[in-house]
Homo-oligomer: A and B are copies of this chain.
Amino acid sequence: MTDITVSPVAHVRGGRAEAKDDHWGEEQARIVLADTLPAEALMGLDAFSHAEILFHFHLVPDEKIETGARHPRGNPDWPRIGIFAQRGKNRPNRLGVTVCRIVSVSGREMIVEGLDAIDGTPVIDIKPVMREFLPRGEVRQADWASALMAQYW
């Protein structure tokens, strides 16, 4: 099993200072490119309405990581579910992926809305949302997921 090393391509600046479970929808944050990359890396992103941000839940300690199954958010009203059937942060590799709305792109920065990542979060990739990469066919999901997400944005 070969480890993979990645480097931050940007950081989240602004937005929330602490992770909370809900009401992320109207948060705005800046994403500022790492010094190692040219501003050109963001060129043309403003032709897209949404971007997918890959980031590292850098504050999750090793001992919190779930590798098997658990109740989502620790709530016993919901069934025990495997960590790869959940999107919570206490997961192997601590990776997050969120689609957010692009508010503006300027020089080495972009402003996004609805990114559920806190101030200082390392960003490891930025991708444009293309319609063709959205789910093909009808989307079906577990009931607990709909309940959990009710207040998220």
Binding site for B on A (CB under 8 A): 1-9, 25, 34-38, 40-45, 47-52, 54, 56, 58, 67-69, 79-87, 91-93, 95, 97-99, 101, 114, 122, 124-142, 145-146, 149, 152-153
Contact = CB atoms under 8 A, between A and B. Distances in A.
Contacts of A58: 4
Given A1-B8, A3-B7, A135 B49 contact: yes
Given A48-B145, A97-B127, 11 more contacts: A2-B8, A4-B7, A36-B67, A37-B68, A47-B141, A49-B140, A51-B84, A87-B133, A91-B125, A99-B133, A131-B149
Contact of A85 (B42, B87, B137): B42
Nearest to A149: B132
Contact of A142 (B79, B92, B127, B128): B128
A108 to B, nearest CB: 11
